């Protein structure tokens, strides 16, 4: 068993540091108005939420449990299980992870593992978890990854986990796949759809700026890509087009860089575009499949019904009110009972049309897709 214990006084130390970060962020926003698009205060707020969750080991245990459930069918990947009866706010107990640390290439080689395949698997599994599950390990540096005797990747330390909603997952996949296909216009369009770029910006100019980033690195191995130059160029683009920081995507962006670094150490010849392609293609194919389209239509319909649970009762009440008015039992100053009967018939027709339309939409989805 592996036991993790919260260090005494660590919460107070973190609180002190976070308060200092808030003060620094406020100064930046006050003294450098141009930096407000980076949303420093929102970034610190997002960071605070991550840190506070990390200081409750019950939440970390729950993250490990959910992560293990999500990846149960993933070949070559295993997550230690928490022992719930031995977990508390300040103590976490999990099954022991045995194997070579991902930072030790010599140990990996002596164990007979293929580092090239491991590098590919790390990248593909990370993308798969982010896109498929919307839950990913957000601190996958080399010290947090082991390779067991069976060649399985075993992550540890689940204090920092990232989440993506369905829209962000779709935007992420389409942006990355657009880069792989070198379709910079499509990448630009997705940025605008996602609200990542101000709507008054030029889509053509933004696509051109993306091309200036994508073309120089297309087809290159990780070792040939200058991470510093790439980040500097991306930052220049965000500044030119007044793009605001997206706090919800910070963990993902940070971890993508970290995971690429892990792959770089394992096998410098890894081509991140070619490795990522099958994961992105399969996921996009699945979300655009007929079954997925039908499921989305049915879920949307169910959500609409859920949002108006009292609609049938409302229609019945309106119907009853019209009857009372037509019978003279409810006097609202209208003397023409014939007009009330007409309104009553219109109301019934309206209700019936809504019901028929709803089932019609479902049937059309089933037939077309």
Burial of 37: CB neighbours in 10 Å, binned 0-12, 13-18, 19+: middle
In residues, how long is the chain? Answer: 369
Q: Determine the pLDDT at residue 216.
A: 82
Residue 95 DSSP symbol: P
Q: Determine the pLDDT at residue 85.
A: 94
Q: Taking residues 188-204, report their average pLDDT.
A: 90
Q: Taking residues 203-212, report their average pLDDT.
A: 92
> For 49-73, what is each residue's pLDDT tens digit?
888 888 999 999 999 999 999 999 9
Would the pLDDT of 290 be above 50? yes
Residue 361 banded pLDDT, cuts 50, 70, 90: low
Q: Determine the pLDDT at residue 336.
A: 52
Q: Determine the pLDDT at residue 77.
A: 94
Residue 247 banded pLDDT, cuts 50, 70, 90: confident
Q: Taking residues 11-38, report their average pLDDT.
A: 90
Predicted TM-score of the model (pTM): 0.73
Encoded tokens for 277? 């392609």
Would the pLDDT of 40 be above 50? yes
Q: Determine the pLDDT at residue 130.
A: 93
Would the pLDDT of 97 be above 80? yes
Sign of CA dihedral 8, 14, 17, 23: negative
CB 176 within 8 A of CB 199: no
- Chain mean pLDDT for the chain: 81
Residue 21 banded pLDDT, cuts 50, 70, 90: very high
Q: Determine the pLDDT at residue 128.
A: 93
Q: Determine the pLDDT at residue 328.
A: 61
User: Is the model more confident about 357 or about 181?
Assistant: 181
Q: Taking residues 80-85, report their average pLDDT.
A: 94
CB 260 within 8 A of CB 222: yes
Q: Determine the pLDDT at residue 53.
A: 85
Q: Determine the pLDDT at residue 345.
A: 61
**Which position among 109, 139, 183, 313 bears the catalytic label?**
139
The top-scoring range by mean pLDDT among 96-105, 224-233, 250-259, 317-326 is: 96-105
313 is catalytic: no
Q: What is the secondary structure of 240-309 as a DSSP string?
A: HTTPPP-GGGHHHHHHHHHHHHHHHHH-TT--HHHHHHHHHHHHHHHHTSHHHHHHHHHHHHHHHHHH-T
Q: Considering only 31-40, 66-75, 78-87, which range has the smallest mean pLDDT? A: 31-40
**Closest Cα partner for 177 from 251, 253, 273, 246?**
273
Encoded tokens for 95? 């099954």
Q: Taking residues 275-302, report their average pLDDT.
A: 70
Residue 367 banded pLDDT, cuts 50, 70, 90: very low
Strands in the chain per DSSP E: 2-5, 91-94, 100-101, 135-137, 145-147, 153-155, 161-163
φ, ψ of residue 346 to 5 degrees: the values are: -60, -40
> For 223-236, what is each residue's pLDDT tens digit?
676 655 665 677 78
Would the pLDDT of 320 be above 70? no
Question: What distances in angstroms separate CA 81 from CA 61, 72, 84, 100, 128, one per listed residue?
Answer: 8, 11, 9, 19, 21
- Position of tokens 């409750």? 56
């Amino acid at each position: 068993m592996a036991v993790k214990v919260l260090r005494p006084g660590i919460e107070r130390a973190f609180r002190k540091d976070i308060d200092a970060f808030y003060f620094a962020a406020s100064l930046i926003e006050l003294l450098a108005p141009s930096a407000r698009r980076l949303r420093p205060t929102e970034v610190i707020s997002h960071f605070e939420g991550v840190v506070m969750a990390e200081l409750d080991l019950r939440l970390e245990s729950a993250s490990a449990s959910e992560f293990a459930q999500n990846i149960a069918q993933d070949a070559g990947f295993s997550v230690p299980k928490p022992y719930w009866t031995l977990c508390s706010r300040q103590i976490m107990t999990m099954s022991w992870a045995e194997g070579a640390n991902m930072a030790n290439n010599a140990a990996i080689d002596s164990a007979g593992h293929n580092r090239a395949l491991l590098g590919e698997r790390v990248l593909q599994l990370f993308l798969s978890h982010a896109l498929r599950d919307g839950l990913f390990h957000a601190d996958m540096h080399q010290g947090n990854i082991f390779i067991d005797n069976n060649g399985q990747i075993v992550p540890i330390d689940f204090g920092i986990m990232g989440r993506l909603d369905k829209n962000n997952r779709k935007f992420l996949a389409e942006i990355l796949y657009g880069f792989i296909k070198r379709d910079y216009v499509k990448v630009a369009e997705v940025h605008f759809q996602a609200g990542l770029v101000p709507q008054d910006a030029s889509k053509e100019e933004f696509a051109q700026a993306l091309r200036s980033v994508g073309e120089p690195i297309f087809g290159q191995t990780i070792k040939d890509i200058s991470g510093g130059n790439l980040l500097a160029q991306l930052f220049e683009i965000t500044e030119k087009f007044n793009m605001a920081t997206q706090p919800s995507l910070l963990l993902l962006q940070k971890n993508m860089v970290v995971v690429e670094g892990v792959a770089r150490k394992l096998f410098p010849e890894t081509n991140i575009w070619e490795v990522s392609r099958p994961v992105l293609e399969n996921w996009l194919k699945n979300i655009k499949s007929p079954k997925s389209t039908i499921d989305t239509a049915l879920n949307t319909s169910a959500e609409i019904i859920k949002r108006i649970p009292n609609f049938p009762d409302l229609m019945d009440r309106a119907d009853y009110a019209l009857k009372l008015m037509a019978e003279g039992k409810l006097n609202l100053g209208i003397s023409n009972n014939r007009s009330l009967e007409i309104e009553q018939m219109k109301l019934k027709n309206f209700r019936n049309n809504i019901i028929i339309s709803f089932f019609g939409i479902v049937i059309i989805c089933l037939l077309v897709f």
